[in-house]
């Protein structure tokens, strides 16, 4: 079978990148960032909050970027709507460093300085690299704002652990320039893909099912739903009409998609079949139970009354096979989460269930299993092509998956037209 390995490339020539700089002591690192962006051929425009100008002179960024720096929205000598013009031209907007104050404003839609006003007016992808003291980063308010922004599709480059301005060590240090540049690359790829799935009708499943054996106890698995949520979010960002059927999840649900909450494998099957005639593409990323208790107690089973508990299990219905039987023309994508080398089992599953594509991954790896933000995956197609990807965030992988799905569907459509001639 042919095999490809996906390789990252950074293309910035001709790209218009806005860099928002806020009042963090890490502001000096933004100088190197702006310099690197310009050296790679980007057209860079810097915007600064008033607090940032107290830490470093706008003249520094003017020299590094080669463009005037926007610091005040109400300077008579400048174009009053310069920030709006920049927002319309931008290919991506990067805010680095981002303080807790600016993050809160962005999450709440407040706009009282050059950075937040431009961010609110800018349709381009937004990348935020926070930098602050540990307790500020870990505060529930800050984490809540981060989740809000992530649900909107904002890329967050989480801070690293190291020495902070307070002289203490902890999480809150601005991410490395390499990580920030990689996140910017992902933002630019999103811009290139923007709306390329417009008109698609997509159903995605995510999270774990729970199989109850009494009213309050159940059998389940460690899935947090992050992978399926990322797949749904990526499809929505690219213009698809998306329904997300979610079991138990522990990640923010994306905005702009229809959410159907379920608990059991049976409820998930019923929900999928309700959309069977509507969907065009189905991605089964949920961790659906293979077995469920044959009988469910009507009251809580008490240890004092039950010395030994034996549960008789029966197989659950296979959602992918049921959907394939109902919709032989739909494009179906499955996931094969295995312990150890997953390829052979994934190939068997692809053939058995009549899938168009399957994603194989080894969930025993610490950076690619349940609950983490990254994944190592191999994509296998019906005609035997294998595409192996490196470690990516789940959202990065989700976009790669949609690239593959779009390529395969276009090829299928072209083949149908050729046969019909």
Core vs surface per residue 335-361: b (16+ CB within 10 A) or e: bbbbeeebbebbbebbeebebbbbbbb
Question: Residue range 254-282: average pLDDT?
Answer: 97
Question: Residue range 164-179: average pLDDT?
Answer: 92
Instruction: Of 109, 86, 105, give the one whose Cα is nearest residue 19.
Output: 86
% of the chain surpassing 90 pLDDT: 75
Helix (H, G, I), strand (E, B) or coil at 404: helix
**Residues 39 and 57 sit within 8 Å (Cβ to Cβ):** no
pLDDT at 270 over 60: yes
Core vs surface per residue 85-105: b (16+ CB within 10 A) or e: ebbeebbbbbbbbbbbbbbbb
Top pLDDT among 305 and 34 is at 34
Helix axes 140-151, 100-108, angle to 10 degrees: 50
pLDDT at 41 over 70: yes
224 and 185, same domain (yes or no): no
Band (pLDDT 50/70/90 cuts) for residue 323 is very high
Q: How far apart are CA 129 and CA 98, in angstroms?
A: 6
Residue 213: what pLDDT? 94
Q: 145: domain range?
A: 3-193
222 and 315, same domain (yes or no): yes
- Locate tokens 């107690």: which residue? 297
Residue 4: what pLDDT? 39
Tokens of 34: 């702006």
Number of alpha carbons in the 13 Å side-chain half-sphere of residue 355: 28
Tokens of 338: 């295995």
Summarize pLDDT for 210-229 with one digit per residue, the tens: 999 999 999 999 999 999 99
179 and 259, same domain (yes or no): no
Question: Residue range 166-172: average pLDDT?
Answer: 92
Number of alpha carbons in the 13 Å side-chain half-sphere of residue 126: 24
216 and 286, same domain (yes or no): yes
321 and 348, same domain (yes or no): yes
**Paired strand residues for 293:** 313
Question: Residue range 281-306: average pLDDT?
Answer: 93
pLDDT at 78 over 70: no
14 and 158, same domain (yes or no): yes
Chain centre distance of CA 300: 39
**Residues 84 and 121 sit within 8 Å (Cβ to Cβ):** yes
166 and 222, same domain (yes or no): no
Number of domains in the chain: 2
CA angle 49, 51, 55 (to 5 degrees): 110
Band (pLDDT 50/70/90 cuts) for residue 55 is very high
Instruction: Of 83, 92, 67, give the one whose Cα is nearest residue 157.
Output: 92
Band (pLDDT 50/70/90 cuts) for residue 6 is very low
261 and 396, same domain (yes or no): yes
Band (pLDDT 50/70/90 cuts) for residue 26 is very high
123 and 231, same domain (yes or no): no
Choosing from 173, 193, 213, the residue where a domain stops is: 193
283 and 405, same domain (yes or no): yes
**Paired strand residues for 359:** 335, 379
Mean pLDDT (the chain, rounded): 91
CATH number at residue 119: 3.40.50.1950
Choosing from 139, 160, 193, the residue where a domain stops is: 193
Band (pLDDT 50/70/90 cuts) for residue 11 is low
List residues with catalytic annotation. 221
**CA separation, residue 398 to residues 123, 317, 359 (Å):** 21, 26, 11
pLDDT at 127 over 60: yes
**Paired strand residues for 214:** 217
Number of alpha carbons in the 13 Å side-chain half-sphere of residue 109: 1
Q: How far apart are CA 227 and CA 223, in angstroms?
A: 9
184 and 212, same domain (yes or no): no
Choosing from 193, 223, 240, the residue where a domain stops is: 193
Strands 241-246 and 258-261: parallel
Summarize pLDDT for 325-382 with one digit per residue, the tens: 999 999 999 999 888 888 999 999 999 999 999 999 988 888 887 889 889 999 999 9
CATH number at residue 385: 3.40.50.10300
109 and 174, same domain (yes or no): yes
């Amino acid at each position: 079978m042919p095999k490809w390995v996906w390789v990252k490339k950074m293309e910035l020539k001709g790209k218009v990148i806005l860099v928002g700089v806020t009042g963090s002591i890490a502001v000096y690192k933004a100088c190197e960032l702006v310099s690197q962006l310009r050296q790679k051929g980007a057209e860079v425009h810097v915007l600064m909050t008033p607090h940032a100008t107290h830490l470093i002179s706008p003249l520094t960024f003017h020299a590094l970027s080669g463009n005037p720096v926007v610091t005040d929205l109400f300077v008579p000598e400048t174009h009053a709507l310069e920030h709006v013009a920049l927002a319309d031209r931008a290919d991506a907007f990067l805010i680095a460093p981002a303080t807790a104050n600016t993050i809160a404003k962005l999450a709440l839609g407040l706009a009282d300085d050059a950075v937040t006003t431009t961010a609110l007016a800018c349709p381009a992808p937004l990348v935020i690299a926070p930098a602050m003291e540990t307790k500020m980063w870990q505060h529930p308010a800050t984490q809540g704002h981060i989740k809000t922004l992530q649900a909107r599709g904002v890329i967050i480059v989480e801070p690293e652990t190291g020495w902070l301005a307070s002289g203490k060590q902890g999480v809150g240090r601005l991410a490395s320039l390499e990580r920030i540049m990689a996140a910017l690359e992902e933002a630019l790829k999103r811009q290139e893909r923007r709306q390329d799935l417009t008109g698609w009708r997509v159903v995605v499943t995510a999270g774990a099912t729970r199989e109850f054996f009494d009213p309050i106890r159940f059998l389940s698995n460690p899935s947090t739903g992050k992978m399926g949520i990322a797949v749904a979010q990526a499809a929505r960002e690219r213009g698809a009409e998306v329904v997300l059927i979610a079991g138990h999840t522990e990640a923010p649900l994306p905005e702009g998609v229809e959410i159907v909450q379920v608990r059991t494998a049976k409820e998930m099957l019923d929900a999928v079949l309700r959309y069977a005639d509507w969907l065009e593409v189905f991605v089964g990323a949920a961790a659906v139970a293979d077995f469920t208790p044959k009988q469910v107690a009507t009251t809580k089973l008490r240890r004092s009354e039950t010395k030994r508990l034996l549960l008789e299990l029966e197989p659950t219905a296979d959602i992918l096979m049921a959907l394939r039987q109902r919709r032989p023309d739909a494009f179906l994508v499955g996931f094969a989460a295995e312990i150890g080398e997953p390829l052979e089992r994934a190939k068997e599953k692809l053939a058995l269930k009549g899938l168009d594509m399957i994603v194989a991954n080894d969930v025993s790896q610490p950076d690619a299993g349940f609950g983490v933000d990254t994944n190592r995956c191999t994509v296998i197609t019906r005609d035997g092509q294998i595409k192996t990807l490196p470690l990516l965030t789940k959202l990065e992988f989700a976009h790669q998956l949609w690239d593959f799905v779009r390529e395969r569907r276009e090829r299928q459509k072209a083949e149908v037209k050729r046969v019909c001639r």
